[in-house]
Amino acid sequence: MLRSIVLFVSVFAALEAGAATFAVNSTSDQTDAVPGNGVCSWMAGLCTLRAAIQEANAFPGADVIQIPAGTFTLSIAGAGEENAASGDLDIRDDVTLEGAGAGVTILDGAAIDRVLHVQPMNLATLSVTIRDVTIRNGATTELPGAGILHGDEGTLLVEDSTVSGNHVSGSTSSAIGGGISSNGLGSLTIRRSLLTGNGAARGAAVFHNGPLSLADSVLSSNTAIGSAAIDSYASVLIERCAFHGNTGSVLHVDGGSISNSTVSGNDSGFGGTITAYASGITIESSTIAGNTAGRALYALGPITLLNDVLAGASGGPECEINGGSIVSLGHNLDDDGTCAGSGPGDIPSRNPQLGPLANNGGPTPTMLPAPGSRLANAGDDASCPAADQRGFARNLGPDNACDIGAVEFSVPEPAAAALGATALLSLGMLCRRQR
């Protein structure tokens, strides 16, 4: 193992290309013996995660760190140190961290500090990818980002990972981003991931100050004073996600869009289930239902709705305006007439007959409407996404329009979803010709 690493590294070093792969093979928490010599080693043949990060920081170029199955628990006390020698693991150069799967590769902060801290050396900007790991039990007090702090203007990609049980204690404006805090102006992309059980005053799962792209992910059971799932100071692009069981409001957003997503079973807390600030939010083909203790949508800025269902808010109306606006572009259904009614195809004050949040196929939970629901075929074909939250094709077309909400449920035949919209249309034409 060691010989192959040395060989691999020496080839690249000879080319001065400066990129290496370091394979972690020890769950101990120990520092690297000689950072920058191209060898990850705290003692003969043993490469720890901390040593690999120190080595990747010091070794020129974008490196890859492979982390096998195992629990890698931080044990060297000393928060506030910034070169991965103690406390959190400081990432200071372009790198990819690759686990063996979120279920088996566990990076555990043991509450001695946050787990990962992405911050460039000098004035560089970093490109960092984290995949197939669990980041858990990070802890800070009045400091952002207990799981991951991204304090950079570069890019951070987190995919196929779990971020759970990370907590920022405190109540000040610095007590933000329990799971992930992207404090710089850099971009944060999260996909196919689970962020659950994180806590902070605001942005318990995610706080972001640069653009956020979030797809095919679940944000659940996060707890905040305000904005349990996401606290935004920049635009969001949220697609095919589920938000449930969060306490203390869910999304505080300020620009961008949410589509093909389900927001259900949350405590609306401060503001509303979704609170839109000055730059507003566009919500399309989404299901916002069964949230408690307040308004579903709270418009401090402009909210635009299209193909959405809003129902079952308790403790407040579905939609409330306070200085902003709520504009229906049509094809929205609500159960109290506060959101829908002014747009074409709107269906105000109707029960959408939604089923419980459940696994209805696809990577994220959804609410499947009953067969007779008014949501069926009531969407706007011109604007519906090609697929629903689950990734199932929407049955667009003149004979069978798309459905309102995050789930396409009125597919005539179970097999039709797999055929895709184009195939479905072709099949329909073929059938008509045969008749």
Q: Which residues bind Ca ion (CB under 5 A)?
A: 32, 34, 37, 39, 55-56, 59, 63, 81-82, 87-88, 90, 93, 117
Beta bridge partners of 303: 281, 326
Beta strands in 67-147 (DSSP E): 70-73, 89-91, 95-98, 105-108, 116-118, 127-131, 134-136, 139-141
Shortest Å, Cβ 190 to Ca ion: 21
Q: Which is nearer to Ca ion, 9 or 375 (CB)?
A: 9
Asked if residue 365 lies in contact with residue 357, where contact means CB atoms within 8 angstroms, the answer is yes
83 or 360: CB nearest Ca ion: 83
Tokens of 205: 């799962």
Choose between 59 and 277: whose C-beta lies nearer to Ca ion. 59
Shortest spacing between CB 62 and Ca ion, in angstroms: 6
**Nearest distance from residue 28's CB to Ca ion, in Å?**
15
To Ca ion, the closest distance from the beta carbon of 362 in angstroms equals: 37
Q: In a 3-state reduction of DSSP, which class is residue 109?
A: coil
Does residue 77 contact residue 112 with C-beta atoms inside 8 Å?
yes
Q: Which of 221, 228, 149, 158 is nearest to 193 (CA)?
A: 158
Closest distance to Ca ion from the beta carbon of 383 (Å): 45
**Which one, of 143, 78, 80, 74, lies nearest residue 111 by Cα?**
74
Shortest distance, CB of residue 410 to Ca ion, whole angstroms? 51
Nearer to Ca ion, 77 or 278 (CB): 77
Distances (CA, A) of 178 to 29, 83, 212: 23, 22, 16
Q: Name the residue nearer to Ca ion (CB basis): 180 or 329.
A: 180
The strand pair at 354-358 and 366-369 is best described as antiparallel
For residues 206 and 210, give the distance between their C-alpha atoms in angstroms, rounded to a whole number.
Answer: 12
| Closest to Ca ion by CB, 88 or 380 | 88
Q: Which two tokens stand for residue 280?
A: 């507003």
Going by their DSSP bridges, the two strands 155-159 and 134-136 should be labelled as unpaired
158: β partners: 130, 190
Smallest separation, CB 151 to Ca ion (Å): 9
- Nearest-CB residue to Ca ion? 117
For residues 55 and 335, which CB has a smaller minimum distance to Ca ion in the complex? Answer: 55
